[in-house]
Structure formats: structure tokens, C-alpha cells
Structure 1
């Protein structure tokens, strides 16, 4: 699916910066931090660090990407794979402000994978006391690729 079509289908204005940032994030094999995105767009001089921050905030606000708590309290940004499936309907995504799934985070390579099949469940009594807008669950370990390379070294 073309990046520009995601904006059009959602009724959002696709600017050059928004398209560049969303394309960069969508092409990455794992979640990216602001500095990583800035580095990947360094050949395009019109995108400075402030512009990238503003675009990331805008994309997050419109639920086209989501933030994941990375190492050293740095945010990483990722698009869920479901957003690029044929059944994805951007309007539905824009209505939902929930981010209720887990992330697998490799301690060696830093790859972050969304796990939509794992959702947290809390007692109704606890949730009645709070308006929960998002839940961030990070499961840290070693991905299959890194585990294989460790195994081959031994």
C-alpha cells in the first residue's frame, strides 16, 4: 500500500515531511528512535530535528504510528503491520486511542516486535478508578536471529 494512500484514505493531509517520516518508519525492520529517523532522512536537508519531532507527534496523535518505550527512556516509533494489510481501514484506526498490546524487545540488536495477540486484563475495580488510554508492556529477551548467532559462536 502506498504511504500517500494511507493519508488520503484517512482524510488527512499528506505533506512531504509526513510522507517521508511515515515511509522511513514503515520501511524499517524494527521500531526507530527520533535520532535514527533523522539520520535516515539526513540526505533531505529540509527535515530538521524539530520538524521530525512535530511529524512524529502528529502521526502518533492520528494513530498512524505508536510510541514504544525503548532503552534509556528513549521513545521508538513503529507502524503495526495490520495498517498495511488490505483489511486496514484508517478511519477505524483514527477513532481508537487505545494502544493495548505487548512488545518483544531484543536486548542485543534492539529489534522491537508488536504482539497484538497478547492483551492485558485488569480487574474492573482497578479500571473503574482510572481512565486508561494506553498500556505499554515490554517483554525483553533475545530474538531468534541473535540467539542463533550466539549459539553459532559457542
Structure 2
């Protein structure tokens, strides 16, 4: 999907910085930290680290990307698998997209690669959900990825 189409489907305003950050995340093989994104954008001198932080916060707030708890409490960011084009008219867009990011993540303890596992979703007893509104879930499974797990 083209980057501009993501903003169009969401009814959101794109900027040069938002497009650049989303482009980096779209082309990434796994979740990236702020510093990894900044490093990939180093040739684009007009974007400083504060601008990138603000863009990441904005993209997360609008559910175009999601953040994953990484090593040493550093966040990693990844393009959301869902899109605004999947949402039925008259539904709560933000709640729909927030619910889609309730899955597990595999963290490689060697190379740091993070992979979303959409098939593994938590199940809560109804009495828990009646007492608490779940906004996000962060399940992290740590181990070695197939590239690092060589005997």
C-alpha cells in the first residue's frame, strides 16, 4: 500500500516527516526503535530526534503504528497490520484499531528483532472485562529467532 493512501484512508493529514517515518517502518523487517528510525533517516537532515519522537507519538495515537516494549524499557515501533479502510462505517475507529493490537510479540535476545504473533491473543474472563476497560496488551516472549538459533 502506498504511504499517502494510509493517510487518506484514515482521513488524516500527512506531512513530510510523517510520510518519511511511515516509509521507514513500512520497509522494515521488524519493529524499530527511535534511534534505529533516526539512523535510517540520517540522510534527511531536516528531521531531528525531537521531530521523530513527536511523529512516532502522533502515528501511535492515530493507530497507524503500534509500540512494543523493547529491551531496557525502550519502545520499538511497527506498522499496524490493520488499516482504517477495514473499518465499517459508523463504528468506533479508535477502539477497533486498538483492539487489533492485542497479541504477543517474540523478542530475540540476541539480535533484538521483534515479531508480532497475531495468532496468540489473550482471553479474559468476562468478570474481569466487566470491571476493567483494557486499552492495550503487551505480551513479550523472549528467546532466539531462527537466524540466531544456530547449534
TM-score normalised according to structure 2 size: 0.88
Residue 103 of structure 1 is matched in structure 2 by 105
Q: Distance in 2 between matches of 1:20 and 1:44?
A: 9
Give unpaired runs (5+ residues) of structure 2: none
Residue 26 of structure 1 is matched in structure 2 by 26
SS in 2 for 1:113: strand
Residue 70 of structure 2 is matched in structure 1 by 70
Q: Distance in 1 between matches of 2:85 and 2:78?
A: 16
Work out whether residues 25 and 77 of structure 2, in 8 Å CA contact, stay in contact via their aligned partners in 1: yes
Q: Which runs of 4+ in 1 moved over 4 A?
A: none
Q: Distance in 1 between matches of 2:146 and 2:57?
A: 32
Q: Distance in 2 between matches of 1:20 and 1:91?
A: 24
Residue 5 of structure 1 is matched in structure 2 by 5
Work out whether residues 105 and 114 of structure 2, in 8 Å CA contact, stay in contact via their aligned partners in 1: yes
SS in 2 for 1:145: coil
* Structure 1 vs Structure 2 CA RMSD: 1.6
One of 108, 128, 131 as aligned partner of 2:130: 128
Give unpaired runs (5+ residues) of structure 1: none
Deviations 1:25-71 (A, max 9, x none): 11111101111111111111111111101100110011010000000
Residue 52 of structure 2 is matched in structure 1 by 52
Work out whether residues 84 and 93 of structure 2, in 8 Å CA contact, stay in contact via their aligned partners in 1: no
Q: Distance in 1 between matches of 2:57 and 2:103?
A: 20
Higher helix proportion, which one? 1
Moved more, 69-78 or 29-38: 29-38
Tell me how far 1:127 sits from its aligned partner. 2.1
The alignment covers a number of residue pairs equal to 144
TM-score normalised according to structure 1 size: 0.87
Residue 114 of structure 2 is matched in structure 1 by 112
Tell me how far 1:89 sits from its aligned partner. 4.2
SS in 2 for 1:135: coil
